[in-house]
Amino acid sequence: MSVSDMGATPPIYKRTVGYFSGMPRPKTRTDEQILDAALELVHAGGVERLTLAAVGERCGLSAATLVQRFGTKATLTHRALWHAWDRLDASTAELAAAVPKTPEGAVELLIGLSRQYGDDVATYRGGLLVLHEDLGDPSLRARGSAWERALTDALDECFASTRGAPSGIGHVLASHWQGALTWWAFDASSSLPDYLTRSLDALIAMLVCASRADDGTGAPA
């Protein structure tokens, strides 16, 4: 699951020290910080790497404190994966509101969502480890379906004033983008933004040209 600069990998939080012995630890980390730390572990090696002890090591809290706040590893894992969807939804909405409502804006939106990977295949692979967990949970699959609708609607809006844009172009672009990410990862000889821009621009040209030819309006100028 992918996000852009806004979804960049969060920092590793230092261990907090200096509490008085025997005194309860205060709530020194927000839930969001803890969930970010948990997601880092999933990205690094799958859900098997996510343990209460490992999360505590990353954010400076004891495993006992995490049990008090989240209950079980399963609950923490689910909340971390849910949090990843929250971040992706927020990034998508922010980008959709910011880009121009043009074909170029559609490409900009998809490139923005891809910036979370940089040009690092390992980071993309980490996203697939998160996706692996999402696909095993019906509630997380539902989040994915809802995101698909939001993203394709936003992409469709970018073509609302484009003569000859076929119906459903947003879904076609989003589907192509998902596949193009994988094709790029096999080789990664060019930067991801450059690769996606070329691939998406070529697809848009083909789709719009074909649609104009079908309706008799001719190829784009």
Model confidence at 44, in pLDDT bands (50, 70, 90)?
very high
Q: What is the mean pLDDT of residues 184-201?
A: 95
pTM listed for this prediction: 0.80
- The one-letter amino acid code at 67 reads V
pLDDT at 129: 94
pLDDT at 117: 92
Task: Tell me: pLDDT of 37 over 80.
Answer: yes
Per-residue model confidence as pLDDT tens digits over 120-158:
999 999 999 999 999 999 999 999 999 999 999 999 999
Model confidence at 213, in pLDDT bands (50, 70, 90)?
low
Instruction: Report percent pLDDT > 90 for the chain.
Output: 77
Task: Tell me: pLDDT of 221 over 90.
Answer: no
Fold of 5-215: Tetracycline Repressor; domain 2 (1.10.357)
Model confidence at 210, in pLDDT bands (50, 70, 90)?
low
Tell me the C-alpha to C-alpha distance, in Å, between residue 45 and each of 1, 7, 78, 152.
Answer: 15, 19, 16, 30
How much is the mean pLDDT over the chain?
Answer: 86
Per-residue model confidence as pLDDT tens digits over 51-103:
999 999 998 999 999 999 999 999 999 999 999 999 999 999 999 999 999 99
Q: What is the mean pLDDT of residues 173-177?
A: 97
pLDDT at 164: 87
User: Any idea which of 16-20, 47-51, 86-90, 189-193 has the lowest mean pLDDT?
Assistant: 16-20
Task: Tell me: pLDDT of 173 over 50.
Answer: yes
Model confidence at 220, in pLDDT bands (50, 70, 90)?
very low
